[in-house]
């Protein structure tokens, strides 16, 4: 079977799998960003308790592995009366795990804004929320974008693990096709190339574009 014939026969399944992977990636990105923003801000709170909760969250999810978390969410959480279908479990696992890494990026981004900016905002009598929203965040977000690009690629790679709880994503399809054809190089190689395309031709340009857009708006470009 030539590679063209291989693609002709299995192309549709790769497309289906890619679509599932993209949906998983988008949904867990949204969850990860929401968690990162919340936990990142909580880690900067001046209240000890709030900081401690966020630190525990971050250390816990960064201290264990994504695969362990996915299995735990999918196989153990139902025992506590939280039955989850594999699709949701996948999004939850990936989003919560990468959210913990993102929280550190949010914290670092906010801390990278020079102290003088806070002080100027105080001198202009801005409220604490106003300072954060109007002065600190816009600058922090621009500083954060490059590491977030890297993190989103890690997230995309992380979604491949949801195949192990039987979500029919790209990785899952590749495994199935390998199992029925034994054409391993084609089966897994094709999936590798598709992941690479998603990372390099979708995520990276998207992040670059938002970076240029934001820095132009800030008069830096």
Binding site for another protein (CB under 8 A): 59-60, 62-69, 71-72, 75-76, 79-81, 114, 116-117, 119-120, 122-128, 130, 134-135, 138-139, 142, 153, 156-161, 163-164, 171, 174-175, 178, 182-185, 187-189, 191-192, 195-196, 199-200, 217-220
Residue 98, Ramachandran bin (φ over 0: left; ψ between -120 and 50: alpha; else beta): alpha
Of 36, 158, 171, 179, the closest CA to residue 94 belongs to 158
Residue with tokens 């906010």: 110
CB nearer another protein, residue 8 or residue 119: 119
What DSSP letter does each residue of 143-204 carry, written as one string? HHHHHHHHHHHHHHHHHGGGGGGT---HHHHHHHHHHHH--HHHHHHHHHHHHHHIIIIIIH
Closest approach, Cβ 94 to another protein, in A, equals 12
Taking Cα atoms as reference points, which of 111, 135, 109 lies closest to residue 124? Answer: 135
- Closest contact distance (angstroms) between CB of 49 and another protein is 20
CB of 45 vs another protein, minimal distance in Å? 15
Q: Which is nearer to another protein, 106 or 156 (CB)?
A: 156
Q: Which two tokens stand for residue 206?
A: 């998207």
Closer to another protein by CB, 34 or 216: give it: 216
Write down the least CB distance from residue 42 to another protein, Å. Answer: 19
Considering beta carbons, is residue 42 or 203 the nearer one to another protein?
203
Q: How far apart are CA 181 and CA 177, in angstroms?
A: 6
CB of 166 to another protein, least distance (A): 13
34 vs 62, beta carbon nearer another protein: 62
């Amino acid at each position: 079977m030539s590679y063209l014939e291989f693609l002709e026969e299995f192309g549709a399944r790769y497309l289906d799998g890619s679509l599932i992977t993209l949906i998983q990636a988008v949904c867990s990105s949204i969850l990860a960003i929401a968690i990162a923003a919340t936990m990142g801000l909580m880690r900067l709170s001046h209240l000890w308790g709030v900081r401690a909760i966020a630190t525990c969250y971050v250390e816990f999810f960064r201290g264990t592995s994504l695969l362990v978390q996915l299995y735990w969410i999918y196989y153990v959480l139902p025992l506590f009366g939280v039955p989850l279908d594999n699709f949701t479990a996948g999004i939850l696992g990936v989003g919560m795990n990468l959210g913990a890494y993102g929280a550190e990026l949010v914290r670092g981004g906010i801390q990278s804004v020079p102290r003088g900016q806070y002080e100027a905002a105080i001198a202009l009598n801005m409220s604490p929320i106003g300072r954060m929203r109007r002065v600190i965040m816009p600058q922090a977000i621009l500083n954060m974008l490059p590491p977030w690009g890297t993190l989103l690629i890690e997230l995309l790679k992380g979604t491949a693990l949801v195949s192990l709880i039987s979500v029919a994503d790209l990785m899952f399809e590749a495994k199935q096709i390998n199992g029925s054809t034994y054409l391993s190089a084609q089966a897994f190689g094709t999936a590798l190339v598709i992941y690479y395309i998603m990372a390099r031709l979708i995520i990276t340009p998207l992040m670059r574009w938002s970076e240029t857009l934001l820095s132009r708006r800030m008069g830096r470009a």
